[in-house]
Amino acid sequence: TLKDACNEALRDWSASYKTSHYMIGTAAGPHPYPTIVREFQRIIGKETKRQILEQEKRLPDSIIACVGGGSNAIGIFSDFIDDIQVNLIGVEPGGKGINTGQHGAPLQYGRTGIFFGMKSHLMQNEEGQIQESWS
C-alpha cells in the first residue's frame, strides 16, 4: 500500500539521510515535499490555462480533478488558484461504494490527523491508524 511504501521510504531515509534523498510523487509528507510535487506538477495547470485561453479566449468555468493522492489536483489547480471566477472542484474516489466503508473519501467521511508529517483529512480507525482506501 502507499502507507507501507511511504513508511519504509521514510524509515530508510531517516537512517541514511546523509547519503540518500527521499522523494515521493504524491502531495504527501512534510514540507518541502508537497511544494516540490506542486512545482513539478504545475506544468499541467500551465498547459491547460494556455490552451484554453488560446482556443476559447477565456478561462474555464470550472476545473475538476481527482484528489486521491493530491498530485493531479495540486498540478492543475496551481495555475488557477488566483482566478476567483474559476471553480476548483476536487473529486474523491467512491471505491466500492460510500455506504460500504470501502472508499477513498476522507474529506467527506474521514477526520483530521497527521500522516507522514502533514495535517490532513484521513481515513483512520478509532485508534488513529490509517485505513486502506479504495478508488
Reply yes or no on whether the pLDDT at 22 is more than 80. Answer: no
As a whole number, mean pLDDT of residues 102-112 equals 91
Q: In the chain, count H helices and then E strands.
A: 5, 4
Q: Is the pTM of this model over 0.85?
A: no
Reply yes or no on whether the pLDDT at 45 is more than 90. Answer: yes
Give the integer Cα–Cα distance in Å for 87 and 109.
22
Give the integer Cα–Cα distance in Å for 112 and 107.
9
Reply yes or no on whether the pLDDT at 10 is more than 90. Answer: no
Q: Where are the domains of the chain?
A: 2-91
Q: Higher model confidence: residue 6 or residue 129?
A: 129
